[in-house]
Amino acid sequence: MQKNKTDIRSLNLETLQKQFIELGEKSFRAKQVYEWLWKKSCFSFDEMSNLSKELRQKLDELFIINNVKVNTSQYSSDKTIKNSFVLHDGHLIEGVLIPADDRMTACVSSQVGCSLTCKFCATGYMERKRNLNPDEIYDQVVLIDQQARKNYNHNLTNIVYMGMGEPLLNYANVLKSIERITAEDGLNMAAKRITVSTAGIAKMIKKLGDDGVKFNLALSLHAANDEKRNEIMPINEQNTLKALAEALKYYFAKTKNPVTYEYIVFNDFNDELQDAAELAKFCKHVPCKVNIIEYNPISFASYLNADVDKIEAFADYLRKQGITTNVRRSRGKDIDAACGQLAIKDKALEA
């Protein structure tokens, strides 16, 4: 990145209009540029064909577009595609396209690495380098959408913030990225098609309520018992189940949005009916549903997926308690693209 140039996508429309007036340009030109940047996802000033060559040159001298690029793509036998994306400073992140019969989902990252050290997650063994900017999250969606159209002749229908990083530790940038994704002069996607997944940061869940968000919230729970959750998710030591329950009640009171609980069933750890009973009790706090997720083993940890019979018995118990429960089968496991497997194996590139 050239240090004397401003990242043009870090400016909102009003600021950009002011800068254009200072350059002796009409403010409507800023709106044209803004549309090129966001609605048309343009990565080069040269492509902005309704601007004069002189203005395009001027923009190129003053601004830079720090766009994300596809570094490598891996194709799973189940049609999942995992991408390594390179950022303007050489850092690498991963994002996944998950095709299904009824939907086309992009799984995007919110941080380079992660600081939460969840014991079962490959990303948790990486160092957190930095937060992603809103445009870097936005670009992942754009690039994965292009991939969906090219490979499966279908546009994206859903976005999940379930890639690398903890979205609520990059709160402002994540919300800004969603604002751009859902804006009419952005990608114009419905907020209800977007799910943000958190490991559980109580004060930020409350802030989501205060901000009246329209997108879906998922909580990676994995144990409804503080002792067990502390063991696999150190974040629980500062954000106990009691604190999370209070935050979720506050969030629901403000937004009226039900919550999804994600629960990986580990062999001989949290796979007994007693564990299911503890989860059912936690589910009483707010309207919710449960997604039971297969565990995808990683080289860093010794956890194993629970037996199929145990998973089915666990799910059946929850359903008998009146809790909407889905068992999610892993996608992209053969290319390390499944839940909990994202971890950059390549070294960061030179900027």
- DSSP, collapsed to helix, strand or coil, labels residue 247 as helix
Q: Quickly tell me which residue has 């209800």 as its tokens.
A: 192
- The DSSP result for 306-348, as a single string, is PPHHHHHHHHHHHHHTT-EEEEEPP-SGGGT-STT-----SPP
**Residues that are catalytic:** 94, 339
The amino acid that residue 350 corresponds to is E
Q: How far is CA 117 from CA 195, 234, 241, in A?
A: 22, 7, 18
Cβ atoms 204, 171 nearer than 8 A: yes
Cβ atoms 17, 31 nearer than 8 A: yes
Q: Quickly tell me which residue has 């429960």 as its tokens.
A: 325
Q: What values do phi and psi take at 5, rounded to 5?
A: -105, 145
Q: How far is CA 274 from CA 19, 220, 245, 285, 305, in A?
A: 62, 19, 19, 18, 18
Cβ atoms 346, 85 nearer than 8 A: no
Distance CA 72, CA 86 (A): 9
The upper half-sphere exposure of residue 53, i.e. CA atoms within 13 Å in the direction of its Cβ, equals 0
Cβ atoms 259, 217 nearer than 8 A: yes
Query: Of 187, 174, 184, nearest to 213 (Cα)?
Result: 174
Q: How far is CA 33 from CA 29, 36, 51, 145, in A?
A: 6, 5, 8, 22
